[in-house]
Chain A
Amino acid sequence: MNRRDSLKAMGLTVSATLLLDSCKPAADKKTADGLVLDEIGRQKYEVEREKKLLAEKFFDAHEMATITILADLIIPKDEHSGSASDAKVPDFIEFIVKDEPEHALPMRGGLRWLDVKCLNKYNNEFKSCTPQQQLEILGAIAYPMQATPDMVAGVTFFNKMRELTAIGFFTSKMGIEDLGYKGNAPTKWEGVPADVLKQYGLEGV
């Protein structure tokens, strides 16, 4: 059910009319990659800053290819939803390191650390390693409590890479549907459903 239908179903009158009036499409602008840049309700400097960041490029092609492989290893396609790259997570990571520059250096340096580690270990940069080699090196940096001291820099990098990937994925349309979030739509909140209250024995609370 879309927003308009659910409004109707609820029989909302004043709210619905006011809401639909105020949700009419306005002078939004689409950027090259399809992101809608909304200028309504935003300050001029915000819009200008964002346009500038979207026009800049931080990661080179090699780095982006490595980020894409890593992101899909962290969040692969499964029976519920697509992979991180299906949800355009690499594009989000490219944007956010420019938006929040504190991520830029750890990401760039971390990618390089990973390539050099793989070169020494497997005679290949990470993206050209075999899938088995890639899993092996991730196994050494993806479990902080088990990592050996020589892998600490990799653990730090992977923590950040994993966090940015998860943010990018679970804030995408695909990721939000995967989580099963049901809100952001007009409703009438009448409390926790009876079957759920019963499940947890909270009927009397």
Chain B
Amino acid sequence: MTDIQIKRSAEVYDVVIIGSGAGGGMAGYVLANAGVKVLMLEAGPFFDPAKDSLQLKWPYESARRGGNATRPMGDFDAAYGGWDIEGEPYTQKNGTDFKWFRAKMLGGRTNHWGRISLRMGPKDFKARSSYGVGDDWPITYEDIKPYYDKVDRLIGVYGSMEGMENDPDGIFLPPPKPRLNELFIKKAVTGLGIKVIAGRGSILTEKLPGNNERGACFFCGQCNRSCKIYGDFSSSSCLVIPAIKTGNLKVITNAIVREILTGSDGLANGVSYVNKDDMQEYAVKAKTVILAAGTCESARILLNSKSSQHPNGLANSSNVVGKYLHDSTQTGGAAILPQLLDRKRFNEDGVGSLHIYAPWWGDHKKLDFVRGYHLELFGGMMMPGYGGYLGFEGSLVPYLNGYLPGKDGKMKPGGGFGKGLKDDYRRFYGTLAAIGCHGTDIAKEDNYCEIDNSVVDKYGIPVLRFNYKWGPEEIKQAKHMQQTIQESIKAMGGIPLVQPAGPENNYGLDKPGKGIHEVGTVRMGDNAQKSSLNKWGQAHDCRNLFVVDGSVFVQQSEKNPTWTILALSMRTAEFILNQKKRQNI
């Protein structure tokens, strides 16, 4: 007998879902509620925000005061994982520095995300026809609209009705009012001719009609820690845990998927995985497999699922798996608003998503680039914390206090110590205003992830290697972002905290992956030679394999992808139900 065996379970599940984030969670929810027997494999531990969230903890309840030595977005942030995970590396080529954020836990990255919940617009689904760049999706906005509507009703999203053609309204809960700093930003940005509207976020600013499992938001502004009363959307709290309660969905946690197994007929018939708890190898059987491990991990699993029927990896006869990887473009700016020195104190936590934002306003006919970006506008009296107030505006106080007169109206040298400095920290508290710019990256065949056969992770699975370069379109967009930031800060009378960036560093354009909006590696399309999946998310090469995460995107837009992932996954799950009824799969 050997030490390691492959344990094969006899039970055949109707559906095995790989991954429990937005895509996997939604598919599991729809199928389990329809009576389908579902097994979900999750690479990380069980996570229930009601029990595991670190919401309402004070910085002094953390030895590192909320610092980020173990969690890249702070000690209370609800993401287990980060840019680098011990024993699970990835590699780069051609000078690429792609950053890959992974959260290995039930619900994945939806436990900590910014809850910005935007619909893509009619033109976004037809980028080639509308703008002459990228590719058209095989579906239209009208095809997906009913699913956006259903997601709005099922999960809840706040926003304001604006009637903008390419930023479609949803079924909205009331939006939160802006914070004080945000009113200054709104005034300044509006003055530049940019329309500023209420944010759109999946947070229950009021009780969600018909749902008694979730509480309404109590405005602590800590959505990134996940919510103990399920007042915001996480796949764990709103989809997977309710699906488990139907009795039809079973979750196996700490299950790292190696490959999707196929039979001699080329169809998927199961999944093999290693269990992190006992380090044993397992195989489960399935009539249908749904892949939702996250854009890059899903590509990795498909490329590693080689067989005689699928020698180039599964769903990859087109050779497009891993290609067209694209993330949002992003850069940002921040300023101190001197008019807010010594401001009055009140509870200004608000919600943990955007109170205001500016949808893309530009006319590409008048610009030297065609796709847009939006502005995420925020500021206020945030909870102090290492990485919060004192990781940013607080740390700058000894530099800024030399540029503004003191309470006595006199200038003094910057820096210092003692009672005067202590008072300066108080004076500057809550004066920060920030502008984030997040835009469209045009999907390119040359930006991709692929298997690096020379490196394996600690489970013996070959890892991903990234190749990614921003193009001229993205860099021109970033230049425009810089202009917008500088003009906005000037208009609000702010002291900029970030140096304007120029061509030497792509105008401050962040590294690819840093937007954590990566999509596109297992794209949909009508042409099986140029895409992996049909318009239902069904593999062209394998009719009982479906993909429901961000990898299915043909072309993203400046809208954050989660709401579209949810709507597409719901649509695919309903298609699967329909196909099962007709006994097609």
Residues of B within 8 A of A99 (CB): 63-64, 67, 69
| C-alpha spacing A5/B445, complex, angstroms | 58
On whether the beta carbons of A170 and B218 are closer than 8 Å, the reply is no
| C-alpha spacing A41/B62, complex, angstroms | 13
* Count of chain B residues near A, Cβ 8 A: 81
Question: Does B231 sit at the interface, judged by CB under 8 A?
Answer: yes
Q: Interface 1/0s, chain A 131-168, versus B by CB < 8 A?
A: 00000001000111110000000000001001100111
A101 to B: closest C-beta gap in Å:
9
A3 to B: closest C-beta gap in Å:
7
Q: Interface 1/0s, chain B 380-422, versus A by CB < 8 A?
A: 0101111001110011011100100000000001111111011
Residue in contact with A181 in the complex, picked from B215, B383, B413, B414, CB distance below 8 Å: B383
Main secondary structure of the interface of B (DSSP, over half): loop
Residue in contact with A171 in the complex, picked from B186, B384, B398, B418, CB distance below 8 Å: B384
On whether the beta carbons of A75 and B386 are closer than 8 Å, the reply is no
Interface residues on A, range: 35 or more
On whether the beta carbons of A187 and B64 are closer than 8 Å, the reply is no
Residues of B within 8 A of A46 (CB): 70-71
On whether the beta carbons of A183 and B348 are closer than 8 Å, the reply is yes
On whether the beta carbons of B345 and A182 are closer than 8 Å, the reply is yes
Question: Does A35 sit at the interface, judged by CB under 8 A?
Answer: yes
Residues of A within 8 A of B390 (CB): 166-167, 170-171
Residues of B within 8 A of A143 (CB): 413-416
Question: Does A173 sit at the interface, judged by CB under 8 A?
Answer: yes
Question: Does B563 sit at the interface, judged by CB under 8 A?
Answer: no
Known A-B contacts A18-B215, A143-B415; A184 and B58 likewise in contact (beta carbons under 8 Å): yes
CB nearest neighbor in A for B418: A76
Question: Does B459 sit at the interface, judged by CB under 8 A?
Answer: no
Question: Does A14 sit at the interface, judged by CB under 8 A?
Answer: yes
Question: Does A49 sit at the interface, judged by CB under 8 A?
Answer: yes
Q: Interface 1/0s, chain B 50-89, versus A by CB < 8 A?
A: 1111101111110111110111000000101000000000
Residues of B within 8 A of A168 (CB): 65
On whether the beta carbons of A15 and B381 are closer than 8 Å, the reply is no
Question: Does B229 sit at the interface, judged by CB under 8 A?
Answer: yes
Question: Does B180 sit at the interface, judged by CB under 8 A?
Answer: yes
Q: Interface 1/0s, chain B 134-174, versus A by CB < 8 A?
A: 00000000000000000000000000000000000000000
On whether the beta carbons of A183 and B349 are closer than 8 Å, the reply is yes
Residues of B within 8 A of A36 (CB): 61
Q: Interface 1/0s, chain B 227-238, versus A by CB < 8 A?
A: 011110000000
Known A-B contacts A41-B51, A171-B385; A166 and B425 likewise in contact (beta carbons under 8 Å): yes
Interface residues of A in 71-111 (CB under 8 A from B): 73-76, 78, 80, 92, 95-96, 99-100
Interchain residue pairs with CB less than 8 A apart (6): A75-B421, A95-B64, A166-B394, A183-B221, A188-B219, A192-B346
Taking A15-B215, A41-B51, A171-B65 as known contacts, 5 extra A-B pairs with beta carbons closer than 8 A to each other, sorted by chain A number, are: A15-B218, A45-B70, A162-B421, A167-B390, A176-B59
The 8 A-B residue pairs with the shortest CB-CB distance, nearest first, are A191-B177, A15-B215, A186-B218, A183-B349, A41-B52, A180-B345, A171-B59, A189-B219
